[in-house]
Structure 1
Amino acid sequence: MRDGTPRVALVTGGTGGIGEAVVHALVDDGFAVAVHYAGNKTKADTLVETITAAGGRAVAVGGDVADEHAMAAAFDAVESAFGGIDVVVNTAGIMVLGPIADYDLDQFDRIVRTNLRGTFVVSQLAARHVRDGGAIINFSTSVTRTQLPKYGPYVATKAAVEGLTLILARELRGRDVTVNTVAPGPTATPLFFDSNTEQTVAALTNATPLERLGRPEDIASTVAQLAGPARWTNGQTVFVNGGLA
């Protein structure tokens, strides 16, 4: 709470598997939440209706995360609705897998635009808008360490996100704003299942000591900690992967 009013969070990709879980976790923690969507306005509106019907505070905002004008308008809309922004969680991203030698360059430009430029645009706006005492949380992947074949272009964008995030944490010295990256392991989301073969899914399910895929709620619980009580965690990449080596 800030002066008796809820803290405010903007969650990009808020209609995705992990994004939606993050929205619910933050609402449960008392946040007013802006649910960002790129294309699925109906799902965002339905999620907002569910939250508000249960007594929470939420709005839907749209826009391409890589479009600085659309996202500036989204940030402005959140501030207009709730009076400010305390936390930005940037879950928006795409995954297009393939071997580097044969990877289509148009697809490479697309994945760089969304995952890297999009994270830069959102991080830049967050640095300008997040109130003192807030948090910025970006998303990477545990594959930056496991180095699985066919993940090269995706990992390239996410490794860049890690570097960008860690430097932003240093640049915001004196603001009491934490900046971290969450790097999930294999997580049971539509994006994961759509991007991997059944054989790969089975192998990754058994790859962790916990012998299961992560759940979106597993990732959301870590985000909720970074958004709230985990004030001494700053400038870090937090791997949330069930012990994946």
Structure 2
Amino acid sequence: MVDHGIGGKTVLVAGGGKNLGGLIARDLAEHGARAVAIHYNSAASAAAAEETVAAIRAAGAAAAAFQADLTSAAAVEKLFADAIAAVGRPDIAINTVGKVLKKPLTEIGEAEYDEMAAVNAKTAFFFLREAGRHVNDNGKVCTLVTSLLGAFTPYYAAYAGTKAPVEHFTRAASKEFGERGISVTAIGPGPMDTPFFYPAEGEDAVAYHKSAAALSAFSKTGLTDIADIVPWIRMLVSDGWWMTGQTILVNGGYTTK
């Protein structure tokens, strides 16, 4: 009988230093993970990552943090190697890395496009590749995308467009890794109440997003709260293992496919 619970499992969270990734890392430790390795992108996030490490340890799990720019295959390979050396092969691998750009398509430069593609698509591809190589049999893999994959909207061509390939990566990986009992999923949150949201949006857009979801009136901000995403992640990387190859939009009724 395969144990699909979180207790005793080893976890790797890319983008796990703060915000949603940090909350996911803490939550899985609190639900019995044996060890949690987290990644963070830049020195500016180091203090927050150390706070997350401390919280993981306080929950009774081993913890380690690694800084890296994951926009090269070599960097993703090194992250997995370093995490395995520190805490062991992961049973659960979660990628929350992403970058938002809201800008008219006609004004997006080549360098901006290349950066968006590298962060949102390339990183996800090679994270899935390394997960397929290193996650233990009967493991779980989940990637954060965006509910804009179900929207018909202007100004997010580069953001939603470079997240869209992850749906296809997820489907392929689920078929390829399934023979080892590994489930592979993606979750697309709605506009989230995080520091990344507000700089990209004008006042009118913020007001719209805060009222657009069917359940907006029942959210403390009107937006998706990161705490509302965490239980879905926890479910998919544990007892929800039978769900695989799917992208699930979790947004309070903001949009659907």
Q: TM above 0.5, one fold?
A: yes
Taking the aligned partners of 1:204 and 1:244, their CA distance within structure 2 comes to 8
What is the DSSP-based 3-state SS (H/G/I as helix, E as strand, rest coil) of the residue aligned with 1:117?
helix
The equivalent of 1:87 in structure 2 is: 92
The equivalent of 2:249 in structure 1 is: 239
Shift of 1:67: 2.1
Does 1:230 find its partner at 2:249? Answer: no
The equivalent of 1:71 in structure 2 is: 76
Task: Give the conservation status (yes or no) of the 8 Å contact 2:17–2:50.
Answer: no
Letter paired with 2:37: A
TM-score, normalised relative to structure 1: 0.94
The equivalent of 2:105 in structure 1 is: 100
Q: Say how many residue pairs are matched.
A: 244
Shift of 1:5: 7.4
Letter paired with 2:206: V
The equivalent of 2:39 in structure 1 is: 36
TM-score, normalised relative to structure 2: 0.90
Shift of 1:54: 4.1
Taking the aligned partners of 1:167 and 1:155, their CA distance within structure 2 comes to 19
The match for 2:67 among 57, 62, 67 is 62
Q: Which runs of 5+ in 2 are unaligned?
A: 217-221
Moved more, 101-110 or 176-185: 101-110
Letter paired with 1:237: T
The match for 1:144 among 146, 149, 155 is 149
Provide closer, same or farther for how the CA distance between residues 94 and 46 of structure 1 changes in structure 2, counting only shifts above 3 A: same
CA deviation profile, 1:46-98 (whole Å, cap 9, x unmatched):
22123213433211012111222222222112212222111111001111110
Taking the aligned partners of 1:220 and 1:78, their CA distance within structure 2 comes to 22
Letter paired with 1:154: Y
List structure 1 segments (4+ residues) > 3 angstroms apart after TM superposition: none
Taking the aligned partners of 1:29 and 1:53, their CA distance within structure 2 comes to 12
CA deviation profile, 1:167-218 (whole Å, cap 9, x unmatched):
1111113110000010111111111122212211110111111112111111
The equivalent of 1:134 in structure 2 is: 139
The equivalent of 1:7 in structure 2 is: 9
Q: Which runs of 5+ in 1 are unaligned?
A: none
Moved more, 224-233 or 46-55: 46-55
